[in-house]
Chain A
Amino acid sequence: MSGTLPARLQEIVDEFAEVDRTERLDLLLDYSRSLRPLPARLEGVELERVPECQTPLFVQTEVEEGRVHLFFAAPDEAPTSKGFAAIIQSGLEGCSVDEILGTPSDFAAGMGLADVVSPLRMRSVGAILARVKRQLMTSDAPST
């Protein structure tokens, strides 16, 4: 397991770590709103659910010319799950498979989010990343 994070993900971690508690909550809300909607071709497709998120969150990975694309779907009533997914999407989009597999599952530990959303809820972040990695490892992801 590599100790370094992909550059964009490291930027996001730092971004959260540098602000105070209230701003951190607002930042997570901003990320939540920034989650890209599913492309039309994936609508209605059955996606893998992340069961550790209490509210439904679905994940789909695709690899194109060695670069990973991440897609998530979550209802608007689940802004926390959407925020976590958006951090992973924004931080890892376009990375190589190896970069993502080498991303430590506890990457979010230094973000200071636990006191905003609770330590228990932070488990979802690792769970989402674990699903992404597993899809990439079991080559569920269509490779083109």
Chain B
Amino acid sequence: MPLPSDSDAKLNAYAHPERLVTTDWLAEHLGEPNLVVIESDEDVLLYHTGHIPGAIKVDWQLDLNDATTRDYVSPEGFAEVCGNRGIGRDTTVVIYGDNFNWWAAYALWVFSLFGHQDVRLLDGGRAKWLAEGRPMTTDNPSLTPCDYPIVPRDDATIRAFKDDVLAHIGHGPLVDVRSPGEYSGELLHMPDYPQEGAQRGGHVPTARSVPWKRAANDDGSFKSADDLRAIYAEEQGLKAGDDVITYCRIGERSSHTWFVLTHLLGFEHVRNYDGSWVEWGNAVRVPIERPERPAS
């Protein structure tokens, strides 16, 4: 039995309010059977300095990425990650994390690749929970491992690969959610500062710049449905039926925007290009646009 949805008014203005819970809702439901709370952070030690009581840790690098290939875990690997943590196929999973829920959104997206039905984000993440003075603990939660079925990973519906992006240029909207400096390419050219990863700077031709941060309030929560519609629908002209691809540097910030478009605004065909700029900016002969230069 999934837990009830949060009936909060702000959440109910979103297209899929069942994908989000407020800190109030979580505080009220903590400890209930069939609920597992996951903390997923950029900093792998942060969970251990204190976490929401009962929450378990899932790390994007150690748990969700394949250790060898640049890819996600296999169906067997995912079943192990979940089963070891007491997550069953019908468990209600609520994910929160540091840094505006980047990695929480990323983890939710990976859970969605495996079709986990009931996975939600905590609106505002770790920062909001802390700011409200809610309880934290360093106690390890007691886990009862269970069986999680081995289900295929669906890499077609919400995931885009480099060739998909290439084919998308001129055919559908691409949303670059990185900072303006990364979008323009100038950040790769600071002397003596080797930025992570890319040989070339700029953006995918035709991609529009909509930094992920525009969707967030300063307290880490998502902006209201009206504010989000003003940005993505009115200003950017994106429509709910559009075939949209989002990308950033390694796919985490674009998971945040993927979540906004898919679950908060109800877009039906949004894919996250997880290869993102670390792949595109290193790939041979893919076209790149820079503001001061014509597209190559």
Q: Which of A's residues lie within 8 Å of B, judged by CB?
A: 25-26, 28-29, 32, 51-52, 54-55, 76-81, 83, 115-118, 120-121, 134
B49 touches A79 (CB 8 A): yes
A79 touches B43 (CB 8 A): yes
* A77: B residues at CB distance < 8 A: 43, 46, 98
Which B194-218 residues have C-beta < 8 A from chain A?
194-196
Which B113-147 residues have C-beta < 8 A from chain A?
none
A26 and chain B: residue at smallest CB distance: B48
B44 and chain A: residue at smallest CB distance: A117
Which B166-197 residues have C-beta < 8 A from chain A?
192-196
Q: Which of B's residues lie within 8 Å of A, judged by CB?
A: 42-46, 48-49, 59, 61-62, 98, 192-196
* B42: A residues at CB distance < 8 A: 54-55
30 contacts between A and B (CB under 8 A): A25-B45, A25-B48, A26-B48, A28-B45, A29-B45, A29-B48, A32-B49, A51-B193, A52-B194, A52-B196, A55-B43, A76-B49, A77-B43, A77-B46, A77-B98, A78-B43, A78-B46, A79-B45, A79-B46, A79-B49, A80-B43, A83-B45, A117-B44, A117-B45, A118-B44, A118-B59, A118-B62, A120-B61, A121-B44, A134-B192
The listed residue with most B CB atoms (<10 A of its CB), out of A77, A78, A115, A121, is A77
Helix, strand, loop or mixed for chain B's interface?
loop
* A51: B residues at CB distance < 8 A: 193, 195
* B59: A residues at CB distance < 8 A: 118
7 further interface pairs, Cβ-Cβ under 8 Å (given A54-B42, A77-B46, A118-B44): A32-B49, A51-B193, A55-B42, A79-B48, A118-B61, A120-B61, A134-B192
User: Distance (Å) between the CB of B39 and the closest chain A CB?
Assistant: 13
The listed residue with most B CB atoms (<10 A of its CB), out of A26, A118, A120, is A118
A52 and chain B: residue at smallest CB distance: B196
* A54: B residues at CB distance < 8 A: 42
A121 touches B61 (CB 8 A): yes
B46 and chain A: residue at smallest CB distance: A79
The listed residue with most B CB atoms (<10 A of its CB), out of A26, A29, A120, A121, is A121
In order of increasing CB-CB distance, the 7 nearest A-B pairs are A118-B61, A79-B45, A80-B45, A80-B43, A117-B44, A51-B193, A79-B49
User: Distance (Å) between the CB of B94 and the closest chain A CB?
Assistant: 21
Bound: A6/B62 CA distance, A:
31
B187 and chain A: residue at smallest CB distance: A51
A80 touches B48 (CB 8 A): no
User: Distance (Å) between the CB of A35 and the closest chain B CB?
Assistant: 13
* B49: A residues at CB distance < 8 A: 29, 32, 76, 79
User: Distance (Å) between the CB of A66 and the closest chain B CB?
Assistant: 27
User: Distance (Å) between the CB of B257 and the closest chain A CB?
Assistant: 19
Bound: A120/B65 CA distance, A:
12
* A78: B residues at CB distance < 8 A: 43, 46
A54 and chain B: residue at smallest CB distance: B42
A81 touches B43 (CB 8 A): yes
